[in-house]
Amino acid sequence: MDSTGDTMRHIKRVREILSAVAERLENRGLAHDHSKLEEPEKSAFDEFTPKLASSVFGSEEYKGFLAAMKPALDHHYAENRHHPEHFRLWRCDVCLRVFQDPPLDGRCPHCREDDVNGEVVFERPLTRHVGVEGMTLIDMVEMLADWKAASERHATGDIRKSVEINASRFKIGDQVRAVLLNTIREMGW
């Protein structure tokens, strides 16, 4: 049997799928951060963009600027899914499972034990969490591009340092962190 035909169909199909992904990324690039051009974001970014650019990413000064921008940033994050803050998740601090929709009682179903009478003897409440667990790969590619462009706005900007700071900030696990760093290396950043 000659597998050439089957292989060529497979190659063509993967090419079609990758083209659809590339088109989705292109559309993300065209729409990226348009909410910054309208209120309630525009005036805050007008005021704080130069201040953020002259600060050290992750420093106390930088965090203070972000705190002052909170209303605008809350709007920005709600409108733009390439930010981990877009996703309001719930996390169990015992088993580390993350839930997009928490159980009605707000307790981790995996860390709950009932006694023989059905009374709860051990349960763990879930805590609010923002993170990448709600993202798609498309979201993550846009996020990494956003982090790269943002690092270029700072005199001390470094995309690798940004990944390390944000991995800690958003509780990004070692595997995803490694994928982000591998992508940076492949892109020559």
Helix/strand/coil (H/E/C) assignment for every residue in 122-139: ECCECEEEECHHHCCHHH
Is residue 57, in this structure, part of any structural domain at all?
A: no
Radius of gyration of the chain (CA): 21
pLDDT in tens, 8-39: 999 999 999 999 999 999 999 999 999 999 99
Is residue 123, in this structure, part of any structural domain at all?
A: no
Is residue 69, in this structure, part of any structural domain at all?
A: no
Please name which of 45, 48, 54 lies closest in space to residue 156, comparing C-alpha atoms. 54
pLDDT in tens, 98-114: 777 777 777 787 776 66
Q: Is the Cα dihedral 95, 98, 99, 104 positive or negative?
A: positive
pLDDT of residue 120: 57
pLDDT-based confidence at residue 121 (cuts at 50, 70, 90): low
Strands (E), the chain: 88-91, 98-99, 113-114, 120-122, 127-130
pLDDT in tens, 61-98: 999 999 999 999 999 999 999 999 998 777 787 777 77
Q: Which residues constitute the domain of residue 188? A: 131-189
User: How many folded domains does the chain comprise?
Assistant: 2
Is residue 24, in this structure, part of any structural domain at all?
A: yes
Is residue 16, in this structure, part of any structural domain at all?
A: yes
